[in-house]
A = this chain, B = another copy of it.
């Protein structure tokens, strides 16, 4: 599977009016991406720097438009996704200028930029490419269960709900593994993960018959080059809307280990208030029993979102409780790092 950009590419992130609080994708690319971010576009914050808004991130200038980016870049990445995923007309001049400079344009919107006739013509005449990363590849394979035999240790993040930290946990696991010298890679299944890693397939747009097959193909393609693959999960197994994504990925990944991601203060499913969040032990049973007929994947560790805990001590109390429920070690990968999980996942050493 071809990538959308390379690890040493120089990126410009479009985040007009929304950086950093409503630019989850841009922040993810800054925090976790391998490519070099040379500027962020936000005309409301032009003249500031990333460090002024989000001190933990790699620094870069915030400018008003592509015209004001100093030096050259390889790609403009649309790092915001408004509700509905529509392309906004106010972004058009930046996309136009980027394409005229011969850059690629990479976007995870619902609207296809490659099908925009002006953009397509500009890309054609200036040699850039337009990548709509949410668009599934044309040739989709059926699952066969073969990822169970992949030549790498495969970990999949699963959740008690959607939007609970499966992507964050996956990228933190990859980062912690690399810091230990383990050759680890992310297998991205959603737009932010794809823009972090520069490749991947947005599973939510893949037709039901091919969900497991696409994940299996990604695992089998990347396994020979790495010792640890961390597959980004989507949705949740007992969810009124997103269960097809979760179960298809579960069977496609053929994971050795599952990491169950949970939010200890969330009472009902995000956006689905009529449904309580299943308790962690029930979720463990569901994931393991449904995985078993294809490949026996076990929940070997937990990840907890303790961001609202008032102190590390409270967060540790929550983790203790979560570990008891799972019978497995757990961490908050953002607050305490993912390192504690790695040895337990059988992937701790180079």
Contact = CB atoms under 8 A, between A and B. Distances in A.
Contact of A144 (B241, B248, B250, B278): B241
A243 B251 CA distance: 8
B286 A290 contact: yes
Interface in A275-307: 275, 278, 282, 285-286, 289-290, 292-294
Interface in A132-162: 142-145
A237 B237 CA distance: 11
A278 B290 contact: no
A256 interface: no
Contacts of A285: 289
A238 interface: yes
Interface in A205-241: 205-209, 211-213, 234-235, 237-241
Most B-side CB within 10 Å, residue of A208, A239, A285, A286 = A208
| A interface, size bucket | 35 or more
A244 interface: yes
A212 B238 contact: no
A142 B289 CA distance: 26
B240 A244 contact: no
Contacts of A248: 208, 243-244
A332 interface: no
Give this chain's copy count: 2
A275 B289 contact: no
Contacts of A246: 247
Contact of A293 (B211, B213, B244, B278): B278
Contacts of A206: 207-208
Contact of A290 (B142, B211, B235, B290): B290
A275 B240 CA distance: 28
B240 A247 contact: no
A245 interface: yes
Given A203-B208, A204-B209, A208-B206, A240 B272 contact: no
Contact of A292 (B238, B247, B250): B238
A90 interface: no
A205 B209 CA distance: 7
Contact of A289 (B203, B205, B239, B286): B286
B243 A247 contact: yes
A233 to B, nearest CB: 12
A294 B240 contact: yes
A244 B243 CA distance: 7
A245 B205 CA distance: 14
Contact of A205 (B207, B242, B251, B286): B207
A242 B209 contact: yes
Contacts of A313: none
Contacts of A209: 204-205, 235, 241-242, 244-245
Given A238-B290, A238-B294, 8 more contacts: A142-B241, A145-B275, A204-B208, A206-B208, A208-B235, A209-B235, A238-B293, A240-B294
15 contacts: A144-B272, A145-B272, A204-B208, A208-B245, A209-B242, A237-B247, A238-B251, A238-B292, A239-B293, A240-B294, A243-B248, A243-B294, A244-B247, A244-B248, A286-B289
